[in-house]
Chains A and B, each alone.
Chain A
Amino acid sequence: MPTSQKTIRRNTRTLAQLPPGQRGIVRRVTGGGSIHRRILDMGISKGTLIEAVCEAPLGDPIKIKVRGYALSLRKAEAALIELDETE
């Protein structure tokens, strides 16, 4: 299913930018190597619904909900997850 390059450039929003309490649908997971695979293994792939829950008290890792469980990851990793907006 070819995704046009143009759509990706236009208003790309990543999980790192998703405000707490909001949801998004994964458009694709970028990056490479083991972190790319790890994100996929955790159940985050194209079409997955993700909800941002909160930031850690010190601001960095964030807590999200995906496929019914709670996951934490740093914003640097969250920035590899591109979202389509919902609602």
Chain B
Amino acid sequence: MRTRFGRRKRNSNTKPTRQHPSPIEDGPGAPASDEAPPVPAAHPGVPAVVHVALAGNPNAGKTSIFNNLTGGRQRVANYPGVTVETKEGLRRHGGVTYRIVDLPGAYSLTANSPEELIAREYILRERPDVVVQVVDASNLERGLYMTIQFLELGVRLVLALNMIDEARARGLRIDTALLGERLGAEVVETVGNRGIGTDALLAAIERARTRPPRPPEGRYPAELAALAAEVRRQVEALGAAKYPAHWAAIKFLEGDREVRQWLAAAADGRATQFESATRRADQLARRTGESIEAQLAEARYGAVAGIYHEAVRRDLSPRRRMEISERIDAIVLNRYAGFPIFLLIMFALFQFTFTLGEPLMNGIEAAFGWLAGAIAAHLAPGPLRSLLLDGIIGGVGGVLVFVPNIVLLFVAIGLLEKSGYMARAAFIMDRIMHRIGLHGRSFIPMITGFGCSVPAIMATRTLEHERDRLATMMVVPLMSCSARLPIYTLLIPAFFPLRWRGFMFFLIYAIGVVLAIVMVKVLRVTVLAGESTPFVMELPPYRWPTARSVVADGWEKSVLYLRKAGTIVLAISILLWTATSYPVPTRHAVDASRLTASLSPAELARARAAEDIAYSLAGRTGRAMAVVFQPLGFDWKVCTALIGALGAKEVFVAQLGIVNSVGEDAPSVSDLHGVLAHDYTPLQGFCIMLFCLVAAPCMATVAATRRESNGWKWALLQFGGLTALAYVVTLAVFQLGMWWGIGV
């Protein structure tokens, strides 16, 4: 646990992902450059690059403001815990370059979850010049609780009162000047989702840079204050300067594990009074019947209440937004209707994707058909034509057809995330998730996993406990990701009549979910056994997703997908096409046989092509694999496609197209349907889907799991475990199906 955190820190803190290569310019014509340039400083002796960290409560709008400042496009959504790693961008303003870092949200500087630890460690270690605390102004008290902690830490602070629009709508009037004066910090109002207040924020950062920080006004109970002062003296006596002594003393009394370990290490065997201080703290807690943490929290909230009541007025006029959210919740979380509504929304998610995707998909398919026709008409038969038609159009084209579906699925998931329903889904599902040994929050990565496993695995960072994280991470690939959609979209219509199709889609997704539940249960009684972990989660108010963010999201996903199709899928398609086309046999058995006379020229050509493929590298590999996969009902053609699926799931479809078309002209998806329906039974078709659903997560997923679990162990267990599971389950289904004669 400790080493994992330790390593994580190095991974994500010292090298935050540079997300925006060049700073946005204010003035026209100023050169943008990649390196931090020697900027003429506004004042002599002031650093040319100002390091600014955006911190604050989860869901307060940090990333929205980060995007406004840097022109970045980091993910924004309406639930706590969206950002899980530090992101960095540049902004140039008034001759100064600002290096701006977006941090994961935290409720306090006591680190409870990995992503909270990242935020705190960043501020403690990297010592940004200015910390901008983004506060949800409609939730000011809890925000100020953290402000007090920042002041305890002695950072140069700017308070961005974000969501000021919502605060006003709820009738809160905040006297920012007074607030700033009381806190000894710069205070500005912002509306992150509409880009309001960005310049004022930059100006405030500039002022804060030269303003000495002031300790908070909060008063601790006398005994506690005396104790803190004493610990502080001891910390100072150690002469170690990793953390500010005043802050370290308070954290020591709070029982902060990191700080205590650090102090023990700094003491390095020298005699200290820390033990006696601990004893006295324990006595104090026992005598008052309240933990030290509770007393400190109370003191901070006391200070907050004082400032809050001075600086905030509440009009008794409408508290509209909260009321709207309350009213929606009254329906959506209703005892009887809540669960059916939840199922309906999940169903609508997929329905939306497919109904809207269908016509677009047909359009793209027609376009590729036309392109293939044009190429066929202009090129003489030969390797180049075959490469273009079978390898590239058959492969990449076969994958591109699914762009609309995939983008729509991401947009639909995005709508759930941006509206605020995702947090409700976690709330509703917690009971079930808890029963199987997970956490309601695990549900969010799982839904994300229907889009793509990689961000879903990253999203597990919001889970506070290692065991929950790992268990969730391991089963995320069972949530059928969008890359597997093409496989189902190809196979289901080939084998099942129209009225069965919707059900088959549902069945495949449901099997993934059920297997995930079973696997979690298995993990939780074996390698990941342990107590269940608490569930405490904020339910943010519902918010309208802005049209701009939804469109931007869809656009970005399309670009990503096209890039994937143009790189990985293209490369693997060409590789597989080569492996499927070479080596070429010198003679064909069919020519030597007596059959030649009885076959039509077309049949003869097809027989030759089949021999060519069987003779090729891919054909031979497929045959070798088929020995193992025979009991699952897979022939060697399916096996070659499985190889391709390892790189990216979509390639499965591409390769099925290739093996079934080499020697003929480019097949369209509907032609392929015919070929498949002819060659395989519905039972085989179903088994292929089942295997693709469960087996071998793609390389990117394996890499993500390795990175997030900090080692190969879990990644390999995931890969091997899921593949073995796929084999066993598919074997059982195929053999039972054969036995009962279902779908044969």
Contacts and interface: CB of A to CB of B under 8 A. Distances in A.
B142 A72 contact: no
Contact of B338 (A1, A48, A57): A57
Nearest to B336: A57
Contact of B537 (A43, A55, A71): A71
Contacts of B431: 56, 58-61
B107 A71 contact: no
Contacts of B342: 57
Which of A1, A38, A76 has the most B CB atoms < 10 Å from its CB?
A38
Given A60-B434, A63-B329, A73 B107 contact: no
Given A57-B335, A73-B536, A41 B297 contact: yes
Q: How large is the interface on B (under 10, 10 to 19, 20 to 34, 35 or more residues)?
A: 35 or more
A72 B429 CA distance: 12
Contacts of B141: 43, 67-68
A13 B170 CA distance: 32
Interface stretch (B284-292, B348-356, B560-568, B669-677): B284-292
A38 B293 CA distance: 10
B107 A2 contact: no
17 contacts: A2-B287, A8-B289, A29-B291, A34-B112, A37-B110, A40-B297, A41-B107, A45-B297, A54-B335, A56-B333, A56-B430, A60-B434, A70-B540, A72-B427, A72-B430, A73-B534, A77-B536
Contacts of A42: 107, 142, 536, 538
A56 B338 contact: yes
A28 B440 CA distance: 26
Contacts of B221: 1
Contacts of A43: 141-142, 145, 301
Nearest to A46: B298
A39 interface: yes
A45 B107 CA distance: 14
A63 B440 CA distance: 14
Nearest to B319: A68
A76 B113 CA distance: 20
B138 interface: yes
Interface in B418-461: 427-428, 430-432, 434, 440
A5 interface: yes
A72 B156 CA distance: 33
B427 A56 contact: yes
Given A34-B464, A45-B297, A72-B427, A57 B334 contact: yes
**Shortest beta-carbon contacts, A-B, top 6:** A57-B338, A58-B431, A40-B297, A70-B539, A41-B107, A41-B108
Interface in B293-333: 293-294, 297-298, 301, 322, 325-326, 329-330, 333
A61 B535 contact: yes
Nearest to A70: B539
Contact of B535 (A41, A45, A73): A73
Contacts of A59: 431
Contacts of B293: 36-37, 40
A72 B535 CA distance: 8
Nearest to B301: A45
Interface string A49-87: 000011111111101000111111110110000000000
B435 to A, nearest CB: 9
A3 interface: yes
B339 interface: yes
B139 A56 contact: no
Contacts of B325: 70
Nearest to B464: A34
Contacts of A37: 108, 110, 112, 254, 293
Given A5-B289, A28-B289, A77-B534, A57 B298 contact: no
Nearest to A78: B536
Contact of B538 (A40, A58, A71, A76): A71
Interface of B: 107-108, 110, 112, 138-139, 141-142, 145, 170, 221, 254, 287-291, 293-294, 297-298, 301, 322, 325-326, 329-330, 333-339, 342, 427-428, 430-432, 434, 440, 464, 534-541
A36 B427 CA distance: 20
A45 B298 contact: yes
A73 B535 CA distance: 5
Interface of A is mostly: mixed
A80 B214 CA distance: 35
B542 to A, nearest CB: 11
Contacts of B541: 70
A35 B538 contact: no
A58 B534 contact: no
Interface of A: 1-3, 5, 8, 28-29, 32, 34-43, 45-48, 53-61, 63, 67-74, 76-77
Given A3-B288, A57-B336, A41 B112 contact: yes
B538 A70 contact: yes
B440 A46 contact: no
Contact of A72 (B290, B432, B539): B539
A29 B294 contact: yes
Contacts of A74: 430, 434, 534-535
Contacts of B329: 53-54, 63, 70
A57 to B, nearest CB: 3
A68 B440 CA distance: 23
A77 B471 CA distance: 22
A31 B464 CA distance: 18
Nearest to B141: A67
B536 A32 contact: no
Contacts of A5: 289
Contacts of B139: 67-69
A69 B112 contact: no
Given A43-B141, A73-B537, A36 B335 contact: no
B539 A47 contact: no
Nearest to B109: A41
A22 to B, nearest CB: 16
B430 A36 contact: no
A8 to B, nearest CB: 7
B294 A28 contact: yes
Contacts of B322: 68
A30 B694 CA distance: 44
A57 B290 CA distance: 34
Given A37-B110, A58-B339, A68 B138 contact: yes
Given A59-B431, A60-B431, A69-B142, A32 B291 contact: yes
Nearest to B140: A68
A3 B538 contact: no
Nearest to B431: A58
Contacts of B430: 56, 60-61, 72, 74
A76 B536 CA distance: 11
Contacts of A57: 333-339, 342, 428
Contact of B536 (A38, A68, A70): A38
Nearest to A77: B534
Given A54-B333, A63-B333, A76 B288 contact: no
A36 B536 CA distance: 11
A54 B539 CA distance: 13
A46 B287 CA distance: 16
Contact of A55 (B254, B297, B335): B335
Nearest to B339: A57
A67 B289 contact: no
